[in-house]
Amino acid sequence: MSEALNGFLKTERGRKIERVELIGYSGGGALSVLLADQVKGISKVVTLAGNLDHKAWTESFGYLPLFQSLNPIRDARLGKLPALHIAGADDENIKPEIIKSFVAKHGGELVLLEGVDHNCCWLEYWPELLTRIERLH
């Protein structure tokens, strides 16, 4: 994925892009934080209910571990890149503790949304979240 995105950004059309913001939901949040240091020109990273520690996630459900997968909590390299991590307070799939642990280790801003689970009720917060994402520097 990083090769594809870096390749695109080197094309004529890609060079016209002024900034790249990675925004990912659930497993896409994991991809966003893992791609952040592998793609030139990333300006910020935003995760929504991001699976940012698949070891803790598989253990919490009794699933087999993901042996050959990069684990964001261990492998992400965000440095000083602005990052916003949004969790649903009622999310039983990606529990807020997973996201809180990632933020404690890697930094960034944590937003906990009351009354939100993995699927429900994100839409009512979306205007506020877009404003927060835009202001993130």
| pLDDT tens per residue, range 12-70 | 989 899 889 999 999 999 999 999 999 988 999 999 999 999 999 999 999 999 999 99
User: pTM of the prediction?
Assistant: 0.94
Helix axes 54-61, 96-106, angle to 10 degrees: 160
Tokens linked to 110: 């944590």
Contact between 118 and 81 under an 8 Å Cβ cutoff? The reply is: no
Q: Which domain holds residue 28?
A: 2-135
Contacts of 68 (CB under 8 A, 6+ apart): none
If we measure between CA atoms, which residue out of 102, 85, 14, 82 comes closest to residue 42? 82
Contact between 30 and 24 under an 8 Å Cβ cutoff? The reply is: yes
| pLDDT tens per residue, range 119-130 | 999 999 999 999
Domain count for the chain:
1
Q: What CATH number is attached to the domain comprising 58?
A: 3.40.50.1820
